[in-house]
Amino acid sequence: MQTPPFRKNPRTLIYLFLGFTCLCGIGWAVFSSEVVDFRVLLAGNALLFAIGFYSLRLAIKALYHKNIQVFLRLLYSSLLLKLFLISVAAFIYIAHFRQALNKPALFGCFGLYLIYTFTEVRLVMQQSKRKNA
């Protein structure tokens, strides 16, 4: 098995995380938190970064396995891990704050999920092209 070069790929995720954290901090300072609960967005951003970072590691590791079963197991486990952890976090938030649920923040976290997922897929596709070249 060839060792996967993982050094450059997480930089994009780290920059994305820092950018959204700064945007949430600026939004929290400038706008009042009456409409959007920025604490939920910051927590969602941190959770999505941690899950995306680990999922990206698993997907890149899967690219460099010659055994197709190992490749599929790593790829599916990264997908299921992301789905399970985000579902549990959403369920806990919805169950805990049933009366004071902040829907704009929840939809903002969904938007962050889409951005992190598209970024992760783009990074894995770039790594796949580098590997095959």
* Residue 1: pLDDT over 70: no
The secondary element (H helix, E strand) that includes residue 61 is helix 38-63
The values of phi and psi at residue 132, to 5°, are -80, -15
Summarize the confidence of residues 49-66 as an average pLDDT.
87
Yes or no: say if 46 and 13 are a contact pair by the CB < 8 Å rule.
Answer: no
Note the pLDDT tens digit of each residue in 88-116.
999 999 999 888 888 888 999 999 999 99
pLDDT above 70 covers a percentage of the chain that reads 91
